Chain A
Amino acid sequence: MNHKELNARVSAARDQVEARGETFYPGASRIHLAAFPPRERWNDWVELDSKSWPKRVEKRYMLVPTTCFNCESACGLLAYVDRDTLQVRKFEGNPEHPGSRGRNCAKGPATINQITDPDRILFPLKRAGERGEGKWERVSWDDALDDIAGRIRKCMQDERHEQVMYHVGRPGEDGYTERMLAAWGVDGHNSHTNVCSSGARAGYHWWMGMDRPSPDHANAKVIVLVSSHLETGHYFNPHAQRIIEGKKNGAKLIVLDTRLSNTSTHADQWLSPYPGSEAAIFLAVANWMIQEGKYDREFVRRWWNWQEYLDRIHGEPNGGFERFEELLRDTYSEYTFDFAAEESGLSAAALQTMAETISTAGTRLATHNWRSAGSGNLGGWQVARTLLLLNALLGAIATEGGTFPNSWNKFTPKPPRLPHQHPKRWNEVLWPREYPLALMEMSFLMPHLMRDQDAFVDVYFTRVYNPVWTNPDGFSWIEMLTDPKRIGQHIAMTPTWNETAYFADYVLPMGHSSERHDLTSYEQYDGQWLGFRQPVLRTARERLGERITDTRQVNPGEVWEENEFWIELTWRIDPDGTLGIRQFFESVKNPGEKMTVDEYYGWIFENSVPGLPAAAAAEGISPLEYMRRVGAFEVASKIGRVYEQRIPEEELEDVHVDGADRVYTRAPVPPSPKAPGGTKIDPDEQGRRRVGVRVNGEVLRGWPTPSGKLEFWSPTLHEWGWPELAIPTYIRSHIHRQNLDADQMPLISTFRVPVQIHTRSANAKWLDEIAHTNPLWIHPSDAARVGVAKTGDLVRVETEIGHFVLKTWITEGIRPGVVACSHHMGRWKPEGHEGQRIGMMTVALDQADSTWDLTRKKGGGPFASSDPDTLRVWWTDVGVHQNLTHAVHPDPISGMHCWHQAVRVKKAEPTDSFGDVSVDTAKSRAAYERWLATTRSADEHSPDGTRRPFWMLRPVRPERAAYDLPDREPVGA
């Protein structure tokens, strides 16, 4: 038989096999140019059992996709469900996920540790003793639901909606909770964002009207990272693989990181600046590009709001672009390389090299700042604003290889029964008038604001959030949580014990990533995808023919998922529908019955995800079945420059163009499958909506900012009391050298280690074994000055409100004059409490008036449990909880907590022990008041009598009238 005949024979055999829906070539075979089980075999995948080696024992698995819930990247996972026992055996990557593409960091596979954690919470618990006493009794879900629902119902009946609050740490989902709170009419969405990323996000928001960067790393020519983003951080796994692709394609990687992180080691140019000087560096780069004419003039002319700037600031409405360029050169001329060198401690030559590299990128400059310098410093929001200035100069925004705004690389589908109402009452605790421009809720000031306002929260949910541990000034949180005059009922919704749950009234066990439903979509490349998290055992058993109506039927113990919980809770709050909220949780197909999660997601997949119904139909299944089988769907790719899109004729009706070339129309908003959100731009005086901007005679989509352009000059900042900071500029950090005493140093506490999550990975034994402590990074020269002889010696680190004691790591990997300590470690449980044993120390908490001491009584170590591995725990050091000693540092503009600390590092005193923490909350209060004094309140600075610029983002937006300041002429509605 010749080759042709043999080839035909193989082809025929392949066709025959594939016609049966099977795969001809073996899975994980090199000839597929991939290394993952082919999807066709996920239902019955065979692997050799590693534990049986050297015997060849076959194990049969059902591979069920879900989404990782450990960081916000939402990478795809495949749960390997043992077909014999119907237990999950392991997690690997989902190759069908467009963001993560089958690859995961250590935290994804470690999900198996979390679901099999012998100490996890399996049943609803109710406080039996005093709050914080550590006594609990098991209660039924019914009893807990009735109690909580009754309180919320009473709040609503009494018009005390603002006394219901939902405080979220890791959201891990898009839109479900916002929809629920809108349905409830509650302005109670409280996020963790102001201790996380709102600094940088504010900077992006005031440029673009969208608040997050989405760099197209894989296609970039130059990549600039402000952080150790290649190894940690938001979307780091999907980004890291694309950064490496970019590098392989020849991109240059520039990293600004004070530490020699793993990311720094991969850089073509690593810069270790003095913390807080990053904006000065970017301004020096920008100045050089401006002075040398190395920028895209046409892009700047078309898309910056330079006309508005000329008119409003310089009184030259007809000054022309050349005049603007002249002013630009003058304005930025002070930011020389020498200036930035002085601020940063880097050489002017190194900065020039950086500038020259960046200037070669053209429209392929990918830049990224999420937390890091944006979250560490007073004025950190200007780090993002000055960084994006570089993109804006090069026109490298929403271009291939450039940086996109998040909204164009994200797809949040419209849900069924979209609430039409907005909360009527403004939540002053979350959105205080002293911080009118805060990007997100002033969550971390809650203990202080509650006290200032003598406020009371009747029902307080902490949902996968641990403010006692995560937030600065945790002892003030304990004081608030244990005060019944402040918190009526505290419900901790968490899969695992945490420091905040100890001070709850109810602890409700919620599922990990393989035990719950959620939808996610995040900006990770120039595309839009939707990921589906699902309770994998539910799906597995349904594939085998069972009917599952409640996720508790398949989850361990009585662990539930939140979506079913919220539906049930809402029905109990409004059992007869008279409060008007039950309607949003009623079935669409069968009004009057509860909506099920199948119906909720099925409706979304059928109605709100373009392309998904067709893809499902091609496989002969429903869209819901498709997502249960595949786990993710790419909605679109190569989105490109949305701002340059022409507005179609049908959207132009009775058009009005104002003096700033903003175009308004009477045509209604075209139907969109996406959930509503984003900025809210006011209509013109005749009520037409803003549809775009006119550029060179063409009506283009533009930007969702008040001007419709990229706002180089922010009229918002200008009008709301900060005219001196309205263009990208440099704000000296609170830890700038001029603000420190001679014996003080900056402490960097914002960095992550690659294998840990903030507080939710202490129950992952594999991760703990890799990283379980957080020593103080200190340069040898500083160690010598302090008198520390060797790595491991104890030091006392003094902050403005107290001190903590920890071990040192003497390393040249940190800039001299700066110390650093990762924030992950130092998890604890009070003596006498249940709690996590792996990864947590046992401590004594002692309070005398405003003075608190935390003393380590017992470290980690081996213990007997249902998991034999816990007897093999070989480490006792689980780190120190440093955040307790941090005072609150709210940036007066963005509202971001400025994490960097000015500290004194001293040799430990003879009475000091490792892990000791001591704080005076009266000093915390004083620090809060010092920072509060730097604000410019809406009361004095609001240009229109409102509490906050209406156009700015807001997760759950109250009705317009609620924006009006009390005792002022109403302007809303």
Chain B
Amino acid sequence: MPDDAPLELIRSLAVIAEPPGEEQGRLTQLLDLGAPPTASEYSDVFLFQLYPYASVHVGSEGMMGGEARDRVAGFWTALGHVPPAEPDHLAALLGLYASLGQREHDVDGAERALVRESRHALLNEHLAPWVFAFLARVQELASGAYAAWASLLYEVLLSEARSFGSDASAPLPLHLRLSDDLPDPRTEGGDAWFSGLLAPVRAGMILTRADLARIAGALDLGLRAGERRYALEHLLAQDPISVLGALAAEARRQGAAHAGRSDWLGPAATFCHDRAMRAAALLEELAEQGATHLRDASEAPVGIGVEEG
């Protein structure tokens, strides 16, 4: 029932996903999330590690915008809204979710059922396919208020998902159905493979800068400063087999986390788990083959294995 949805709580959690200011500080304290986050913490979590946009997580390009954002914008339009500039930002989606909840409260009968179905669709199609994995990773990588925020929001959304119930026969969310698989560098080239590895929906895992730093540290490799792809290229250039192995382990770890959500998240979690496992298998296979094929397969000037020769 709409009365059960903690709409004000969801709104306030949405606001905390915005750059910190006076209101964010006030809300953080109101929700007992600890000391208000600083601008630096915000930048580290949301600008450098984990991007709070649906399109990054469910788009085949793994970047903001593109067809995934268009699909989200289409959802806004279908509800009669003019889509905002960033319709797939987590705060915007949560704001929309809360406004639908409010609307559900304000209307009766068939219209209420329709609005409720819209809210369910928003959760199912545009939030659930990515937000739980995303929030889980925020809990791992952030500290202080943002970790507490992610934990609380995870629980709230989990409760929302459970309130709608699970339908095993429901179709897979459209974003996932339309997403491309992780390419094989041996047949599709290294360039495409790199792009796919950094696209969460294709690799089944969210690979952050912090992950790459951790791998570099563990393998005693140098981490080049730059975007994730640049850093990853240079890690692979230094020790491709070990790096591939570490990436495979990360994929398996995140895949297991997806599997843990399958009882209540259903086919979406299974889908992501399968993607992660396939990515892990591919990475391990490449490592076993000594990564030399990467050099042969890659026509793009990405540098994989170049230094080996």
Interface residues of A (CB under 8 A from B): 1, 3-4, 6-7, 9-11, 13-14, 24-26, 29-35, 245, 248-249
Contacts and interface: CB of A to CB of B under 8 A. Distances in A.
Q: Which 5 A-B pairs have the closest CB atoms?
A: A31-B95, A7-B6, A7-B9, A30-B92, A30-B91
Contact of A31 (B15, B32, B159): B15
A58 B248 CA distance: 48
Interface of B: 4, 6-9, 11-12, 14-15, 18, 21-24, 27, 30-32, 77, 81-82, 84-86, 89, 91-92, 94-96, 98-99, 152, 155-156, 159
8 contacts: A1-B32, A3-B6, A7-B7, A10-B12, A24-B23, A29-B23, A30-B89, A248-B77
Given A6-B6, A6-B9, A10-B27, A33 B91 contact: no
Contacts of B32: 1
Contacts of A248: 77
Contacts of B98: 31
Nearest to B26: A13
B30 A249 contact: no
Given A24-B23, A26-B21, A31-B11, 11 more contacts: A3-B155, A3-B156, A4-B4, A4-B6, A6-B9, A9-B31, A10-B9, A14-B8, A26-B15, A31-B14, A35-B84
B92 A7 contact: no
Given A7-B7, A10-B8, A25-B15, A30 B84 contact: yes
Contacts of A245: 82
B217 to A, nearest CB: 31
A353 to B, nearest CB: 27
A139 B14 CA distance: 60
Contacts of B92: 30-31, 33
Nearest to A14: B8
Contact of A249 (B22, B27, B31, B77): B77
Chain B at the A interface: mostly helix, strand, loop or mixed? helix
Contacts of B14: 30-31
Nearest to B22: A26
A16 to B, nearest CB: 11
Nearest to A34: B84
A249 B73 CA distance: 12
Contact of A33 (B9, B77, B96, B152): B96
Contacts of B156: 3
Given A11-B8, A30-B89, A30-B92, A6 B31 contact: yes
B21 A13 contact: no
Contacts of A35: 84-85
Contacts of A26: 15, 18, 21-24
Contact of A32 (B7, B21, B95): B95
Contact of A30 (B12, B18, B27, B155): B18
A892 B89 CA distance: 59
A234 B292 CA distance: 65
Chain A at the B interface: mostly helix, strand, loop or mixed? helix
A33 B77 CA distance: 12
Contacts, number: 73
Nearest to B18: A29
Contact of B11 (A3, A9, A25): A25
B95 A30 contact: yes
Given A29-B91, A30-B86, A35-B85, A7 B77 contact: no
A31 B6 contact: no
Nearest to A25: B15
Contacts of A34: 84
| B21, B24, B82, B94: most-surrounded residue (chain A CB, <10 A) | B82
Nearest to B156: A3
Contacts of A29: 15, 18, 23, 91, 95
A688 B130 CA distance: 72
B238 to A, nearest CB: 35
A33 B27 contact: no
B11 A33 contact: no
A959 B235 CA distance: 90
A131 to B, nearest CB: 53
B226 to A, nearest CB: 22
Given A3-B155, A3-B159, A26-B18, A33 B30 contact: no
| A3, A245, A249: most-surrounded residue (chain B CB, <10 A) | A3
A11 B12 CA distance: 10
Contacts of B86: 30
A381 to B, nearest CB: 36
A589 B12 CA distance: 51
Contacts of B99: 33
Nearest to A26: B23
B8 A7 contact: yes
B12 to A, nearest CB: 5
Contacts of A33: 81, 84, 92, 95-96, 99
Contacts of B8: 7, 10-11, 14
Nearest to A13: B30
Given A6-B9, A10-B31, A31 B94 contact: yes
A953 to B, nearest CB: 36
Contacts of B85: 35
B20 to A, nearest CB: 10
Nearest to B85: A35
Contacts of B82: 245
Nearest to B39: A56
A397 B289 CA distance: 72
A35 B89 CA distance: 13
Contacts of A3: 6, 9, 155-156, 159
Nearest to A10: B8
A936 to B, nearest CB: 50
Contacts of A14: 8
A29 B90 CA distance: 12
Contacts of B81: 33
A245 B76 CA distance: 12
Contacts of A30: 14, 18, 84, 86, 89, 91-92, 95
A216 to B, nearest CB: 16
A25 B84 contact: no
| A26, A29, A30, A33: most-surrounded residue (chain B CB, <10 A) | A30
B186 to A, nearest CB: 42
A705 B71 CA distance: 48
A9 B21 contact: no
Contacts of A24: 23
Nearest to A245: B82
A13 B22 CA distance: 15
A25 B12 CA distance: 8
Nearest to A17: B26
| A9, A11, A33, A248: most-surrounded residue (chain B CB, <10 A) | A33
Contacts of A25: 11-12, 15, 23
Nearest to B7: A7
Nearest to B5: A7
A1 B148 CA distance: 14
A133 B175 CA distance: 72
Nearest to A1: B32
Contacts of A9: 30-31
Contacts of A31: 11, 14-15, 91-92, 94-95, 98
A913 to B, nearest CB: 47
A629 B138 CA distance: 43
B158 to A, nearest CB: 10
Nearest to A24: B23
A3 B8 CA distance: 10
A13 B156 CA distance: 19
A414 B211 CA distance: 69
B303 to A, nearest CB: 34
A36 to B, nearest CB: 11
B64 to A, nearest CB: 14
A164 B220 CA distance: 91
Nearest to A56: B39
| B4, B7, B91, B95: most-surrounded residue (chain A CB, <10 A) | B95
A6 B8 CA distance: 9
A41 to B, nearest CB: 11
